[in-house]
Chains A and B, each alone.
Chain A
Amino acid sequence: MLYFGAAAWPVCGVRMRVAQARPWPLHGFKAGLAGCRKHCVVDFSAQEMSICRVTVGGVVLAVIAARANSFAENHYFPIACFGGRPPVQGAVSRKRVFQKFYHLVRDADLCSTIQSSQRESAMTTPQRSDGVQPGRLEPSTLDQNFRDAYPPYDAHEAVVAADRCYFCHDAPCITACPTEIDIPLFIRQIATGTPDAAARTILDQNILGGMCARVCPTETLCEQACVREAAEGKPVEIGQLQRYATDTLMAKDIHPFKRAAPTGKTVAVVGAGPAGLACAHRLALHGHDVVIFEARAKGGGLNEFGIAAYKSTDDFAQRELNWLLQIGGIEIRYDQRLGQQTSLQALRDAYDAVFLGMGLTGVNALGLAGEETGHAEDAVDFIAELRQAQELGALPIGRRVVVIGGGMTAIDAGVQAKLLGAEEVSIVYRRGQDAMSASRHEQEHAQRKGVRLICNAAPVGIEGNGTLTGVTFAYTEMQGGKLVTTEDRFTLPADQVFKAIGQTLAGVPDGLALDGRKIAVSETGATSIKGVWAGGDCAAGGDDLTVTAVAEGRDAAEDMHRSLMG
C-alpha cells in the first residue's frame, strides 16, 4: 500500500499529486485509496438522499444509488465507479456501505475539517486554539468519531462471510488463537444457520469471546494464520463472525452454562479484569464459590478502562460482565485493593485458593526533567478518563499532542486524541517501525486517522516553563546491538504529552517469586506460593492481550479445580 510520508499528511495539496501519479487503478479502490483516503469525500447529502457520491479531490470515484427512505434499512447499489470496478458488487446493506466506505466517510470528515479550517483562515476555531481545551469538535462529530469502528454483520453478511471458510483440518487458526476456539466449527455453525450453537462453541473456550471479537488483533492471530490469508491475502473474517455469533446469543440474554453441584470450596480472585473474570467463571462452572476483590469501583479491568472506545461501544464491557455473572456463584467486592483493604495472607487464610489477576497498575517513567511537573501524562490515565467520560465534548485535549511509545496504548491514545479534535498528533517511537508492538494494522489505522508516526527518535527534553511548549527528540541508531541517541535533534511543538512506554507490575505481595518484572508462574499459572495462582498481564509469559489473559485465567482455574478436588 502506498502512503504519504508522515510529514506530508496535513497538506491538502497532496491529493493532486496522487490523482496525477496514480490513475485510479482497477479494483483500485483499495490500493488507490490507501494513497488518497485522506482526501476522499463521501457525499451522503445529495438531493433526496438517494445518491451518494464518493469524490476525491473533485474527481467522482463512485456513485452509489440508495433506495427508499433515506439511509435506514436500505440497500445500496454502486451503479458507477469511475476508473475502476465498484468496490462492492450487488446489493449491499447500509452497514456494508459503511464498512466499505467507512474510512472514506471518516476521513471525509477529517478532510472537510482540514479544508474548512483552512478556509476560515484567521478565525480561531475551537480546533485551532492552543492549549489543552474541551469541546474542540461538535457533539455530532464526536459521536461519529467514536462509533463502532467495525460495524457488526447482519445475518446475510455473516452467512456470506462464513461461506468462505474451508473447514480446514487441524486448522491453523485454532492454534493461532490463545484460547484455541474451534473456529472452523463455529463458522460452519453460522453457515448452517445456528449462530447460538456457534456462540456456545466460542464461549466454551473463551467466556469473553464477545470482547475478544472486538479487540483481538486478529491480523496477528487467527486471521493471520487463515489459509486464505496466505493464498489470497484475504482471510476469512473470523473476528467479525465471532462477534456476530456472540452478539446474537447475548442479545437473547441466554447464558448457556450451568454450574456443577456445589463443591463447598471458596476461592478468592484478585482483580475483575479479563484474567480474573475468566478464572472466576470457570471456577463457578465447576461448582466452587468465588469472591472477586476489585480495587476499582467498577469491574472489567482494561476492558472497561483501557480498550479504545470505538472497539467497545454501547457499554459492552459492563454488559458482558453482567452476562458472565449470570452463571451464579460469583460475588464481586468493589473498592477492595490487595495491599490495602486486604492482603494475600488474609486471603490465603480465609479461602481454599487464591488467583491473582491484577494486571499492571504501574507505569514506566521517561526519566526527563519536567516530567514530574505534570507536563507528561500517563496515556492509560487519559484513556481511562476518556472511557469513563459521560460527555466526550467536556474532555480537554491539546491542539498539538505528542504520544511517546510504540504499543497499543500509544496508538489508542494517539488515535483517540485525534478523534477528540487534536489538530496534530504525533506518535514517536524510539525504535524502527517493525519493532513497534502495535500491529501493522493498528499502525495503519492510526495513519488513516491522520496520526503521524515518527520512528527512531527518543525524547531528550520537555520544553517550556510553566506551560508545556514542546518535546525535543534525538534520532536513535543501533550501535553494536544497542540503541543509542545521536546528536541529530528536533523539537515537536506540543501542548500535551502522553507517555505510553509500558505498564509495570505494582504492589506485588511479599514472598512471590518473580520472573523478570512479573509474577513467575508454571504452565498452568501456579505461583511459587502453594495455593496461589496468577494469570493475565501480571503473570510472566504470554502477550499482554485480553485473549491471553482469558486463556491464562481459564487454565489456572482448571488447575485450581484439579488441585481443590484432588
Chain B
Amino acid sequence: MADLTTDFLGIKSPNPFWLASAPPTDKEYNVRRAFDAGWGGVVWKTLGAEGPPVVNVNGPRYGAIWGADRRLLGLNNIELITDRPLQTNLEEIARVKADYPDRAMIVSLMVPCDEESWKAILPRVAETGADGIELNFGCPHGMSERGMGAAVGQVPEYVEMVTRWCKMYYDKPVIVKLTPNIADIRGPARAAKNGGADAVSLINTINSITGVNLDSMSPEPMIDGRGTHGGYCGPAVKPIALNMVAEIARDAETLGLPISGIGGVTTWRDAAEFISLGAGNVQVCTAAMTYGFKIVQEMISGLSQWMDEKGYTSVEQVVGRAVPNVTDWQYLNLNHVTKARIDQDLCIKCGRCYAACEDTSHQAISMSPDRVFEVMDDECVACNLCVNVCPVEDCITMEVLQPGAMDERTGSVVEDTYANWTTHPNNPSAKAAE
C-alpha cells in the first residue's frame, strides 16, 4: 500500500481526499462520521457573517440528470451557504478539530465584500484551531445576487482585494475557491496569487438548468411552478474542471501555485487525473452525496494500488506529471498521422461507425452487402469519431503511420520531424523554422 499522506500548504492529511464545502460538511455529526469513514480532511460548509442566518428554499434544492440505469451523472443545486448560526458552527469546528488532529480542517467563508466583515470573522475562525480557510468566491446562485460568491469571483480585482484582507487578518493558509462561470479561469487565479493566496481550489458549481418540466413549463428543479439556475456538479463537470485546473497549472503567472482539484471526482482514477494535472489534493462533494461517505475506501485502495503499480511512493510524485503534456493547439504535431483500424474479429456489424463517418464525417468507411465495414485510408482524416461511437471496446483503434509510410489521403510520405501550425505554410503568420 503506497503512502497517501499528503502535505498541502503544510496541512497534513492521511490521504488527499477531502470533502468539499457542501452539505456533507455542514455539521459536527456529518464531519465526525466522515472522518471515521476515512476522509483525509474537510472544508466546512461555507459560513456567513454574524447575524440572522441565510434562509434556504423549502422545496427541492436539487435537480439531476441520469444515465439509463439511473446512475447519477450530474447534480444541480440551489442551496445557499450554511443556514445554521455562526457560533454553533465555530464551536463544532473547534470540537471536531480537537478530536481529529490528524485530519485537515478548513473553514469556508463568505461574508460581504468589505474589509470590516472579513476583519470581524477571521479571528473567530482562528480561535477554532482550524488549519486554514477557503474563500468561497464561487457560489453561483442566491449569494451572488447579494454581491458575494460568484459576484466576487468573476471580478479579479475583488478577488485580489479580499484575499489580501484575509492574508492581513489571518495567519494560516488561505485558499481561494474559484468559480467556473467565467470566460478565462486564469484571471481570477492570477488575482488570487497576487493577493497572496496560498492556493486556489476549483471548480465550484456551474450555472445550469437540468431540464424543463414540459407539463408545467418550468425549469428543474422547480419550486411551486418556477425554477432558477442552480450550480451543476458531479461526474458531468469533470472535463470542465480538469481543463481549468490544467490551465492554471501551466500558466506562467501562476506557476507553482498549489491547487486543490474539485469537480466530479467519483473514483480513485478521477482523483489521479486531477493530481496529475497539478492538483495537490482533491475535494469531493457529489460522489459522497450520491453514495455516502464509504466511497472514500475505494478511492484510497484504488489510488494506492495504482501508485504501487506505477512505482510512485508519494502523492507528491504524481502532482503535475501530466502538465508538461498540456499544450496549445498550435503546438500539436501536424506530422503525426494516424488511421482508423477496424478489428474484423471484434466487429459486430452494427454499422454505427459507418453512419457516423458517412453522414457526419469524411465518408471514409465502406460497407459491403454482407455488412463488412472497412476504413478507406485515402479518405480517413483520423478524426476518432468512429472510435468514440463504436459500442465494442477496442474494436476500432487508431494506428500510427510510421515515418516513411505513405498517407494515402494526402499522397505524401509521413515525415520523421515534428512540425506544427506555427511553421505551417498555410499559416499567414508562420515563422520560418529555425
Contact = CB atoms under 8 A, between A and B. Distances in A.
Nearest to B293: A169
A192 B345 contact: no
Interface in A194-229: 194, 196-197, 200-201
A136 B248 CA distance: 75
B301 A194 contact: yes
Interface string A155-182: 0100000011001010000000000000
B297 interface: yes
3 nearest interchain CB pairs? Answer: A197-B301, A91-B348, A68-B345
Nearest to A187: B298
A189 B346 contact: no
A77 B349 contact: yes
Contacts of B346: 67, 75, 91
Contacts of B291: 167
Contacts of A167: 291-292, 294-295
Contact of A192 (B302, B344, B348): B302
A188 interface: yes
B294 A185 contact: yes
Interface residues of B, number: 25
A192 B269 contact: yes
Given A188-B298, A193-B269, A194-B302, A75 B393 contact: no
Nearest to A171: B294
A74 interface: yes
B305 interface: yes
B122 interface: no
A466 interface: no
B170 interface: no
Given A67-B347, A75-B345, A196 B305 contact: yes
Contact of A164 (B69, B268, B345): B69
Contacts of A367: none
B69 A90 contact: no
Contacts of A192: 267-269, 298, 302
Interface of A: 67-69, 73-75, 77, 90-91, 156, 163-164, 167, 169, 184-185, 188-189, 192-194, 196-197, 200-201
Nearest to B299: A192
Nearest to A65: B349
B2 to A, nearest CB: 12
Given A75-B392, A189-B302, 11 more contacts: A68-B344, A69-B345, A75-B346, A75-B348, A77-B348, A167-B292, A189-B301, A192-B268, A192-B298, A194-B298, A194-B302
A156 B301 contact: no
A68 B372 CA distance: 12
A194 B305 contact: yes
Contacts of B348: 67, 75, 77, 90-91
B169 interface: no
B62 interface: no
Interface of B: 69, 71, 267-269, 291-292, 294-295, 297-298, 301-302, 305-306, 344-349, 391-393, 395
Nearest to B345: A68
Contacts of B392: 75, 90-91
B29 to A, nearest CB: 16
A198 to B, nearest CB: 9
A156 B346 CA distance: 13
A167 B305 CA distance: 21
Nearest to B303: A194
A77 B395 CA distance: 14
Contacts of A194: 268, 298, 301-302, 305-306
A91 B302 contact: no
Contact of B391 (A91, A169, A196, A200): A91
Instruction: Give the one of B69, B301, B395 with max A CB within 10 A.
Output: B301
A286 B267 CA distance: 32
Contacts of B268: 192, 194
A193 B273 CA distance: 15
Contacts of A185: 294, 297-298
Contacts of A68: 344-345
A67 B373 CA distance: 13
Nearest to A191: B267
A305 B346 CA distance: 41
Contact of B301 (A75, A91, A200): A200
Contacts of B269: 192-193
Contacts of B267: 192
Nearest to B269: A192
A22 to B, nearest CB: 31
A215 B380 CA distance: 52
Given A193-B269, A197-B301, A200-B301, A188 B344 contact: no
Given A68-B344, A77-B348, A169-B292, A197 B302 contact: yes
A68 B392 CA distance: 16
A140 B338 CA distance: 47
Contact of A74 (B301, B306, B345): B345
22 contacts: A68-B345, A75-B348, A75-B392, A77-B349, A91-B348, A91-B391, A91-B395, A163-B69, A163-B71, A164-B69, A167-B292, A184-B294, A185-B297, A185-B298, A189-B301, A189-B302, A192-B268, A192-B298, A194-B268, A196-B305, A197-B302, A201-B301
Contacts of A197: 298, 301-302, 305
Instruction: Give the one of B69, B306, B348 with max A CB within 10 A.
Output: B348
A75 B269 CA distance: 29
B295 A188 contact: yes
A189 B292 contact: no
Contacts of B295: 167, 188
Contacts of A90: 348, 391-392
Contacts of B349: 77
B396 to A, nearest CB: 13
B262 to A, nearest CB: 19
B305 to A, nearest CB: 5
A184 B268 CA distance: 16
A321 B67 CA distance: 43
A90 B347 CA distance: 10
Contacts of B395: 91
B16 to A, nearest CB: 16
Nearest to A190: B298
Contacts of A77: 348-349
A77 B292 CA distance: 39
A196 B348 CA distance: 31
B344 A156 contact: no
B24 to A, nearest CB: 14
A134 B348 CA distance: 45
A193 B344 CA distance: 27
Nearest to A67: B345
A163 B67 CA distance: 12
Given A75-B348, A194-B306, A156 B69 contact: no
A192 B306 CA distance: 11
Contacts of A189: 298, 301-302
Nearest to B298: A188
A91 B391 CA distance: 8
Contacts of A200: 301
A34 B187 CA distance: 67
Contacts of A73: 345
A87 B193 CA distance: 60
A193 B303 CA distance: 11
A560 to B, nearest CB: 27
A195 B418 CA distance: 40
A163 to B, nearest CB: 7
B342 to A, nearest CB: 12
Nearest to A74: B345
A182 to B, nearest CB: 8
Nearest to A188: B298
A196 B297 CA distance: 14
A347 to B, nearest CB: 37
Contacts of B393: 156
